[in-house]
Amino acid sequence: MELHLFEDNLSDGQQAAFGDTIARAIYVTAGEVTVEGKVHSCDEGFVADGPVTLVAGAEGASLWRWDLSDALPATGPRQTAKKLSGEIPENLAGPGSFLRLDSVAFPPSGTAMLHTHQGPGIRCLREGAIRIDTGGQSTSFGPGGAWFEVGPLPVFAQADHAIQSRFIRVMVLPDALRGKSSIHYENEEDRAKPKSQSYRNFGEIGLSL
């Protein structure tokens, strides 16, 4: 099973239908979309399972869409680009796990001290800049840059020193973490320190095969 990240760009009033999948998360990066009568504006997101049909607003819409599936799903609208994929381990690939869509924001010079998570996921930078250190490598990302974290591999994050930075994140986690933080700090002395990052949860949905 893999988690795939796509970027969809819709013209004004365009309808887009996305097929069946185990779980899906959609974040609106520009414009707005209507799904089953509910409007989702820019900087809003939602989760779903199964097919989704949405209609772009009068100014069109741009989306980041994460699909969790056993096979590469259809790309959707013509104006779709695949950004990244990552493998989900078997122990998290079904009932007993859930998919979470959230955002993580850092003030200037904010850091996420050395940490792990209990599940993998794909992040995509919404604003600012961030450096991710993991597995002996250091990689910097600007807006629209996406990266995959496996979960158990320790990560250190350093945000831009001049401006706020924020990324949108989708993770697959065990059900015991519903509504709870997934982060675990590797160093005992870091656990009691004040944390610079803040979170916004857009939604969670259980996995069913």
CATH number at residue 174: 2.60.120.10
In a domain, 156, yes or no: yes
Reading the chain (209 residues) residue by residue, the pLDDT tens digits are 999 999 999 999 999 999 889 999 999 999 999 999 999 999 999 999 989 999 999 999 999 999 999 876 555 556 889 999 999 999 998 899 999 999 999 999 999 999 999 999 999 999 999 999 999 999 999 999 999 999 999 999 999 999 999 999 999 999 999 999 999 999 999 999 999 999 999 999 999 76
Is 90 strand, coil or helix?
helix
Pair of tokens at residue 93: 């690939």
Tell me, yes or no, whether 79 and 109 share the same domain: no
Is 138 strand, coil or helix?
strand
In a domain, 92, yes or no: no
The count of structural domains within the chain is 2
pLDDT of residue 208: 79
Tell me, yes or no, whether 30 and 68 share the same domain: yes
CA pseudo-torsion sign 66, 92, 132, 168 = positive
In a domain, 90, yes or no: no
For residue 125, give Cα distances in angstroms to 143, 145, 178: 5, 5, 24
pTM: 0.94
Tell me, yes or no, whether 141 and 194 share the same domain: yes
**pLDDT per residue over 134-193, tens digit each?**
999 999 999 999 999 999 999 999 999 999 999 999 999 999 999 999 999 999 999 999
pLDDT of residue 77: 58
Mean of the per-residue pLDDT values for the chain? 94
Tell me, yes or no, whether 62 and 110 share the same domain: no
Q: Indicate the residue among 85, 105, 129 that finishes a domain.
A: 85
Q: Regarding beta strands 2-10 and 52-69, do their DSSP bridges make them parallel or antiparallel, or are they unpaired?
A: antiparallel
Rounded (10°) CA dihedral 112, 113, 119, 124: 30
Tell me, yes or no, whether 75 and 102 share the same domain: no
Q: Which residue has the tokens 């990560």?
A: 155
Burial of residue 117, with CB atoms counted within 10 A of its CB: 0-12 exposed, 13-18 middle, 19 or more buried: buried
Tell me, yes or no, whether 121 and 148 share the same domain: yes
Residue 94: partners with Cβ closer than 8 Å, 6 or more residues away: 207, 208, 209
Structural domain of residue 147, as residue ranges? 97-206
Q: Indicate the residue among 55, 85, 115 that finishes a domain.
A: 85
pLDDT of residue 175: 97
